[in-house]
Amino acid sequence: MLIARLGRAAVLSILPLAWTMGAQAAGVPKDTLVIVSEMGPNSLDTMVPTANDDSRMVVWQAYDRLVSHGEKTLPDGTLSYDAHVITPELAESWEVSADKKSFIFHLRKNATFHDGTPVTARDVKWSFERAIAAGGFPAVQMAAGSLVDPLQFTAVDDYTFKITTAQANKLTLPDLAVPVPVIVNSALAKQHATAADPWALAWVSHNDCGGGAFRVESWTPGERIVFTRFDAWKSGPLPKLRRVIFRQIASPGTRRALLEKGDVDISVGLPPKDYAELAKAGKVRVIGVPIQNDLVFIDMNVKIAPFDNPKVREAISYAMPYKDILSSALYGRATAMYDGDPATPYAPAWPVPIKHGTDLAKAKALLAEAGFPNGFKTTLSFDLSQATTSEPTAILIQESLAKIGVTVTLEKVPGSNWFAQMASKTMPMVIGEFYGWLDYPDYFFFWNFDGANNSVFDTANYVNPALDKIIDTARFTADPQVYTQSLQQMVDIVMTDLPRIPLYRRYADYAMQPDVHGFEYWFHVHPDFRKIYKE
């Protein structure tokens, strides 16, 4: 009996789900998808600088972008987006100038927003200007594609939009397919703008202002969000699902039990142990995709002693319990990023595995060379919202470093404060993670190691002007040989200076009922409800 398995507290968290869905005897209706997750959106607007990752999930369903990506099949049969194929979405066609600095998009003439207002090039222009004006993460994401100035955007006529850039950037077009430059209903948003908030960020963060395949029917922060199909959507094939119910349930045991009982269709964000056990049992389908260019790592703040000493950083890299982390914290649901071939140069790619594993004797010797024969004391910080994997990882690291005389105090940072802590650049050691929406090594470096950005993701506080120049060369060159050489130099520099120790590449894991089909992996790792169907 479910109550006996879960206990009273867990059952109370299930009851609202049952009330939402009605009787469960016949299961979830075929045109309705119920998905459960620990986390949920803190905003319905991706351009709010404080918007969290699940806000990207919302705008992916509720807003259009100018362009999208094609589809491919991975070796295990999983469908995936194709990073190298750009396809129409709101723009049905486009032209790129010979010098790759001008882009003209021709919009669909029958597209409307959810309130019936026609979508025009003026909406696109206003939306792009808004993303830049928002600042923070949205503005930096736009800058990755050299979209930095409102003067770059022109509404030529109602259905023609033009972008110009100061220099050719191969990321410009793919940067239009990510969950930041979404098309906002400018007329509706402006009705709620104020002198203090000219872009209506406050109102749009709590209200649907899009024209995507699904409307936001309702949202109760911290509990659930309900999507309904927008039957007038013109930017792609109409989804087969009519309704999607996304529920936040804190307990992973409850989320797993609901899936196994058949009361929900998809469960995301379960611990790796659960996915490993569910995959072995075979009663539900488990899909695990190594996240593109993902890296979970240890950053050592190079501006804080003793991590300003390269030998100390190298010593710490030899003391990492790599294999134990992969087996005990991840239950094998990750790709190792250690024990690379020491006899071959690093590949001009990212991420790359470090060229060794755990060697405590080597670590002790390096610490002695660095002037710390008896070790030292430090702290290791991690995001408490990622504690399922980060906490056991931190404990394993704490135990391993103790063997070389390094005393580590663990600092558990609440998820709500994590980005502020990252931005402060005051943490000596950090368990961090970054994966790029654009699958280019120079994009990863732009976000993580480009000192000109002062990026929040550079928790190692690593600034190298020579590296910055090479990153810019890689971003803007049109010469494949120069690009490859630049990547080689970039990788060699950071793997020699070692402000960051690679640990593993995480899997994007999803567990779903056998009758759920059409799942497609995307770079943002959220399910695309537009593609999913049940039979």
CA distances from 298 to 317, 394, 429, 502 (A): 9, 10, 7, 7
- Sequence-distant (≥ 6) Cβ neighbours of residue 138 within 8 angstroms: 46, 47, 49, 131, 132, 180
Take residue 379 and report the two structure tokens written for it: 């702290």
Could you tell me the maximum CA-CA distance found in the chain, to the nearest angstrom? 71
What is d(CA 357, CA 74) in angstroms, rounded to the nearest whole number?
29
Measured between alpha carbons, how far is 400 from 354 in angstroms, rounded to an integer?
A: 18
Annotated domain spans of the chain? 2-265+513-534, 295-507
- The reported pLDDT for the residue numbered 8 is 34
Asked if the model's pLDDT at residue 23 lies above 80, the reply is no
Instruction: State the distance between the two ends of the chain, measured CA to CA, in whole angstroms.
Output: 27
Q: Which CATH class is domain 295-507?
A: alpha beta
**Each residue of 175-209: pLDDT tens digit?**
999 999 999 999 999 999 999 999 999 999 999 99
Q: What angle do CA 244, 248, 252 make, to 5 degrees?
A: 120
User: Who contacts 380 (Cβ-Cβ below 8 Å, separation ≥6)?
Assistant: 298, 394, 397, 398, 408, 409, 410, 411, 428, 429, 430, 431
Rg for the chain (alpha carbons), in Å? 24
Q: What residues pair up with 71 in beta bridges, in sequence order?
A: 81
Quick: pLDDT tens for 47-71. Answer: 998 898 899 999 999 999 999 999 9
DSSP 264-307: -SEEES--HHHHHHHHHH-SSEEEEEEPTT-EEEEEE-TTSTTT
Domains 2-265+513-534 and 295-507 share a fold: no
Beta pairing class for 266-268 and 500-512: antiparallel
What pLDDT does residue 27 have? 64
CATH no. of 2-265+513-534: 3.40.190.10
- Do the bridges between strand 160-164 and strand 102-107 make them parallel or antiparallel, or are there none, so unpaired? antiparallel
Task: Give me the mean pLDDT over the 3-19 stretch.
Answer: 38
In this model, does residue 320 exceed pLDDT 70? yes
pLDDT per residue as tens digits for the range 292-319: 999 999 999 999 999 999 999 999 999 9
Amino acid at 321: P
Residues 120 and 127: their CA atoms lie apart, in Å, by 11
| pLDDT on residue 176 | 98
- Dihedral sign, CA of 123, 116, 111, 236? positive
The model's pTM is 0.88
Please tell me the predicted confidence (pLDDT) of residue 350.
95
Question: For residues 381 and 371, what is the distance between their CA atoms, to the nearest angstrom?
Answer: 24
Q: What is the pLDDT of residues 440-483, one digit of tens each?
A: 999 999 999 998 877 889 999 999 999 999 999 999 999 999 99
Mean pLDDT within 286-290: 96
Residues with Cβ within 8 Å of 74's Cβ and at least 6 positions away in sequence, in order, are 80, 289, 521
Q: Specify the range with the lowest mean pLDDT, choosing from 24-33, 304-313, 405-414, 467-476.
A: 24-33
Separation CA 220–CA 224 (nearest Å): 5
pLDDT at 410: 98
Say yes or no to pLDDT of 103 above 50. yes
